[in-house]
Amino acid sequence: MSEQDEVDFASGMSAFEAKHFSTAMRFLSPLAEKGNTEAMHRVAIMYQNGLGVSHDPEAAVKWMLKAAEEGHAIAQHGIGFMYMEGDGVDKDMEQAVKWFTLAAEEGLAGSQTTLAMIYEEGNGVEKNPEMAKKWYAKAGF
């Protein structure tokens, strides 16, 4: 990342945290285009929730998926949730489980717990108490 990109990233993240979303989008969108996965994730959240931009489910899915495919664990959890809820995409528990599993394997406790509940309840997958127990244990339960 160039020095200017680092400054823009810091500015964009500060604006995001301060809830100045249109400013955050102005700084982070070009960095997302350049492949910065954290910028992609934040841009996806802004499109998903209409923060500083018009609500755009298609753009939200595009950026969340791009970040997830690049290995961004929180984006993997995010796209898993989008598939589980049918948010911007057709509901698809197989895809949801795939993405939650990738994030869970990265150590994301939220994904581990979500997977455990999916297996415990048999939500879109066959009930599997052993898998539920495994993921609850990894999440610290």
Q: What angle do CA 82, 80, 31 make, to 5 degrees?
A: 80
21-49 pLDDT, tens digit each: 999 999 999 999 999 999 999 999 999 99
Q: Is the dihedral of CA 105, 111, 115, 116 positive or negative?
A: positive
How many residues would you count in the chain? 141
| pLDDT score, position 1 | 86
Q: Contact 97/118 with Cβ under 8 angstroms?
A: yes
Q: Do domains 1-70 and 73-141 have the same CATH topology?
A: yes
Contact present, 7 and 29 (Cβ < 8 Å): no
CATH number of this structure's domain 1-70: 1.25.40
Angstrom distances, CA of residue 32 to CA of 73, 79, 109:
16, 16, 26
DSSP state of 37: H
**Could you confirm whether domain 73-141 is CATH 1.25.40.10?**
yes
Q: What's 141's DSSP letter?
A: -
**How many beta carbons lie within 10 A of that of residue 25, not counting itself?**
22
The yes-or-no verdict on residue 134 having pLDDT over 90 is: yes
Q: Domain map of the chain by residue range?
A: 1-70, 73-141
* Average pLDDT along the chain: 97
Of the pLDDT bands very low, low, confident and very high (cuts 50, 70, 90), residue 130 is very high
Per the confidence metrics, is the pTM higher than 0.85? Answer: yes
